[in-house]
Chain A
Amino acid sequence: MTVATTTAVLRRRATATTALRHRVFSGRVPWTLVVFIIMATVPWIGSRYDTFLAAQIVIDALFAVSLNLLLGTTGLVSFGHVAYFGVGAYVCGILMKTYAVPFSLAFPAAGLGAALFALISGYFCVRLIKLYFAMLTLAFSQIIWAIAYKWNAVTGGDQGLPEIPYPHLDWMSAIPGFADLSIGDRFYLLTLVLVAVSLAVVHRVIRSPFGRVLTTIRDNPERAAFLGINVRLYQLAAFVVAGGFAGLAGALYGIFSRGVFADFVFWSKSAEILIMTILGGAGYFWGPPVGAAALVWLNQAITDYTQYWSFVLGAILLVLLFGFPGGIVGGLDLLWQRLKRLRNA
């Protein structure tokens, strides 16, 4: 299993000035496996509401990790990542609802569709420098939004596509202990597995030679070019991979939300995911998932008391920017470094 392999790898240190560190929890306790098992037991030990929140966290985690492949690993700041999420959601939703295509085909189709759009849009985007890159990603994502909003016949326009069918999960009854699970619970477990596998793949990609080229490009694009690396090609590749996984997250989200709507693709959702990624810590692979969990939790906790969630989110963002640029995981890391120094002193 990929998870076990991951946990067996040694921890690597990078210099303090490098923004991105790939930290794998070493040796004794396979933490990723533990987290996976805990998440998997939620349908049994938790309420329907807990499963609901857990599903949201898991899907957001994948979406945020895909963004971080661009942001943290390759150093590309995209303001339009939600476009690929949206394309994936609509492709899967339209295939499953309008054409009754089974999930096993619709799901990969969503990823491929999103990756294809990422290829087309990315081709134009990567040729631009930072600011224009960000603006063009925003433009493309708003184009997708405008199409989703106006193409009533296909996307449902303002009404969207409610009633996306669940995939056929009756086969799960055969697994011992699963027979009593509702369709929502079963879909959650399926989502958990799909996301876990996706995260493992992304992790592999980051740790591969390809991934190392990406971080080289992030740190110093001129130097990378001097080394003979085709910077644009690698950036485009990262763009496509990131877009593809965002599309998968979108497909899952459409089914989870029981509908796909044009506002999924509005640019403020891109901003939310950026915040999630930075909140968790863009310098760490597990930063975005931690950010996803933190933001979902905060949202639920705070909206119980006040309707001014945007204000709170803005305040959190300010605190992050001025106090904890490394995010939650970054903050924890600093704490750990300091305590280690105290211990060794």
Chain B
Amino acid sequence: MLHRYGLALASTLLLSWPVAASAADTIKIGFPIPLSGPAAVYGKPILAGAEMAVAEINAKGGVLGRKLEILSRDSKANADEAVRLAREMIIKDRVDFLAGTLTSAEAPAVSTVAKENKIVFVAPSAKTTMLTDPQHIHPYIFRVASNTDVEGLAGATLMARWKDVKTVATIAPDYAYGRDSAAAFIAALKKVRPDIQIVDQEWPKLGEPDFTAFITAQMGKKPDAVYCSLFAGDFVTFTKEATPRGYFKAINNRLIDGAEVGTPDEAQALGSDYPYGIIANSYDPVLWSGNEPAAHKTYIENLKKFTNTQYASGWSIVGYQSIYALAAGIKKAGSVSSDPVAKALLGLKWDTPVGERSFSVKSHETFAPEYWGEMVKEAAYPFATIKDPEVLPKSFPATN
């Protein structure tokens, strides 16, 4: 009968049914992050930084006698995909903790998964204030990245220095990060330079292949300067389309970008097409002129060896910091359970190659100032670098 073969098929299916992972000796960290698409140029080095941290920690014997293990998956910078992967890793792979995600769409979504499953989630790069504001905060979310308010203050401080700028425009990707960063910048700017008028705001979608219409529309409004929140592959595409149209020339390169396009990763991606003269930032200047901390020098040497690249990445630091933070929390709690670890992480201080960091007890964030400066072409390097990187903002009033 038909059902006899149905039965045969069903039994075959049952026998080869995918099984959930059995408890192993390693401490598993689920790491969904964009590994393909325009965002991968940031996502891949963050993962590399995290993996290097894991390798270092494991070489010293791991945490609480157990080794760490990262399970990485390609989230394609999609909130939907990141949530699905996070849930799968919790349910199927039985991860102990979550880290990763890149964008401010992915992180808040994964944060809800972390909250529901009571698993600690350390976000290395998402900046939207929504992640840790009073409405969304919960015991298990922690952020290593800066946030849009801090970024906006730094951007406004720099913009305010140009006394002859009277009109400003913004261009930002149309999602939480873009909206928050533009708004925070404008709010901060109003405080220091109420005379500046915002004449245009453009909102291309994340992953936009063709910025032309936005570019020409913005140029038509003739701003004196621009605050830009485009990043990763989008910034590359935008630049390639904007430069031949005279976009940067029209504003005398007075563009400030707070989305880490000052990293060597981005600079190498753009190569000689980089719009020299703009102001950009990075969590890690990588090529440090001046008094480089010894810890940073060692970290960069190790990173170059680990990733087998000639120039280290400016993004790996946040992945690296996230893992070390998590490890410190596990050690302090003396447990791999998320509840004690979450408590241990509050107010926890830990060392990083760019200085000490700590998680605020109230907002679960770190105060992470970044290195800002003009992007120039120095003879020593084949790509743009930050000239005289300045740590901004100097301080920040506690958020929420």
A-side interface residues toward B, CB under 8 Å? 23, 25, 29, 31, 47-50, 52-53, 149-150, 157-160, 162-163, 257-259, 261-264, 293-294, 297, 300-301, 304, 307, 328, 332-333, 335-336
Contact = CB atoms under 8 A, between A and B. Distances in A.
A293 B113 CA distance: 25
A157 B83 contact: no
B13 A293 contact: yes
Contacts of A332: 2, 5-6, 9
A257 B84 contact: yes
Given A49-B92, A159-B175, A258-B87, A304 B18 contact: yes
Given A52-B91, A261-B83, A159 B74 contact: no
A31 B79 CA distance: 39
A79 B130 CA distance: 36
The residue in B80, B111, B115 that gathers the most chain A C-beta atoms within 10 A of its C-beta is B80
- Number of contact residues on B: which range applies? 35 or more
Consensus secondary structure, chain A interface:
helix
Given A158-B176, A162-B83, 17 more contacts: A31-B3, A47-B20, A48-B91, A49-B18, A52-B92, A158-B79, A159-B130, A162-B79, A162-B108, A163-B112, A259-B80, A261-B83, A261-B109, A293-B13, A304-B18, A333-B2, A336-B2
B17 A157 contact: no
30 contacts: A23-B2, A25-B3, A31-B6, A47-B19, A52-B88, A149-B205, A158-B174, A158-B205, A159-B104, A159-B108, A159-B175, A159-B176, A160-B79, A160-B105, A160-B109, A162-B83, A162-B108, A162-B109, A163-B112, A257-B80, A257-B87, A258-B112, A259-B79, A259-B83, A262-B80, A263-B79, A294-B13, A297-B18, A307-B74, A332-B2
B80 A160 contact: yes
B1 interface: yes
B109 A159 contact: yes
A53 B20 CA distance: 11
B13 A297 contact: yes
Interface in B106-153: 108-109, 111-113, 115-116, 130
B206 interface: yes
A67 to B, nearest CB: 21
B289 interface: no
Interface in B268-283: none
Contacts of A328: 9
A300 B78 contact: no
B3 A297 contact: no
B16 interface: yes
A56 to B, nearest CB: 10
B175 to A, nearest CB: 4
Contacts of A25: 2-3
Contacts of A53: 18
A128 to B, nearest CB: 30
A304 B89 CA distance: 12
A159 B104 CA distance: 8
Nearest to A286: B6
Given A48-B91, A160-B80, A301 B3 contact: no
The 9 closest A-B CB pairs, nearest first, are A261-B80, A158-B175, A49-B20, A162-B112, A163-B112, A300-B18, A263-B80, A162-B109, A49-B92
A48 B116 CA distance: 15
B76 to A, nearest CB: 9
Nearest to A47: B20
Contacts of B113: 162, 258
Interface in B36-95: 74, 78-81, 83-84, 87-88, 91-92
Contacts of B87: 52, 257-258
A304 B19 CA distance: 11
Interface string B322-361: 0000000000000000000000000000000000000000
